[in-house]
Amino acid sequence: MKNIFVGNLPFNSTEDELRDLFGGYGEVISVKIINDRETGRSRGFGFVEMEDADAEKAMEALNERDFGGRTLRVNEAHSKGGAGRPRY
């Protein structure tokens, strides 16, 4: 199973929209859009969990694709704070 980082989301995106978008490439196990703690507004990124083969197809197809007027950044998520890894 892979955890996929989805960046540059439109701020009005919903988890259902993201589930539908990624669902075209296989079974979506979970979706989470990250919200600001203070305002409750979307921070413009989220995570999608899929099986490995489906995740690879989705990442290849959706990276740099237009979604709601914004160009998505889609790649494999890394653990927060791992050595040499970006922090999300």
pLDDT at 37 over 60: yes
In this predicted model, what pLDDT tens digit does every residue of 2-15 receive, in sequence order?
999 999 999 999 99
Judge if pTM exceeds 0.75: yes
Give the domain ranges of the chain. Answer: 2-76
User: The domain 2-76: what is its CATH number?
Assistant: 3.30.70.330
In this predicted model, what pLDDT tens digit does every residue of 51-88 receive, in sequence order?
999 999 999 999 999 999 999 999 999 876 555 445 44
Assess contact for 48 and 63: CB atoms under 8 A.
no
Give the pLDDT confidence score for residue 81 in this predicted structure. 59
